[in-house]
Amino acid sequence: MEDITLRIVSEADAETLLDIYAPYVKETAVTFEYEVPSAEEFRSRIRRTLGKYPYLAAEQNGRPVGYAYAGAFHARAAYDWAAEASVYVEKDLRRRGVGRKLYTALEEILKLQNILNLNACIAYPAAEDPYLTRDSAAFHQRLGFRQAGRFHQCGYKFGRWYDMIWMEKMLGPHSSPQPPVRPFPEVQEVAEALLK
């Protein structure tokens, strides 16, 4: 989409991004959260993320319409080269390239940080229903992710049990010694130039 631009998120975006996220919480099993977080909690999440990882917004006519970010795959030090990605797009703009544009930029920034493995934790229905389809898994597969694992009936929402799958994508070669991971603030200036 030519009219979509990307930029780094700030804490001031919390309320707008929360407006994008809230329907996923209230109307879908895409996220296993039951309650929409407060704006302050969302600001805190943005702040924590930007301390180490990228957090991007997609804008249309100067208004955020989607966002994507990375986070720790696991807290232990040996997992530093792996990150977990998430993406949310306004309902009316899904399947129009916004998510792909966000993920493509996110991956490029993670490569600058020396992150090698990108993982996605995806709610997955045994059979599609009004709350959850298999669209997210298909989206990730189109972007080069492959399924790495499946947990059965581990999430309960809307009176239904859902599976969860892990999908992974390798962003670069694994070597030894491996260069250390650079926190996002160290690459932010280059990342901002990449987004233009």
What is the secondary structure of 37-100 as a DSSP string?
A: PPHHHHHHHHHHHHTTS-EEEEEETTEEEEEEEEEES-SSGGGTTEEEEEEEE-GGGTTTTHHH
Q: Where are the alpha helices (DSSP H) in 80-196?
A: 98-112, 135-142, 184-194
Mean pLDDT by 10 residues, the chain (196 residues): 88 97 98 98 98 97 95 96 97 85 98 98 97 97 97 98 98 96 97 94
pLDDT at 1: 53
pTM: 0.95
For domain 4-183, is the CATH number 3.40.630.30? Answer: yes
Query: Which DSSP category does 132 fall into?
Result: B
Domain coordinates in residue numbering, the chain: 4-183
pLDDT at 95: 77
pLDDT at 2: 63
pLDDT at 96: 78
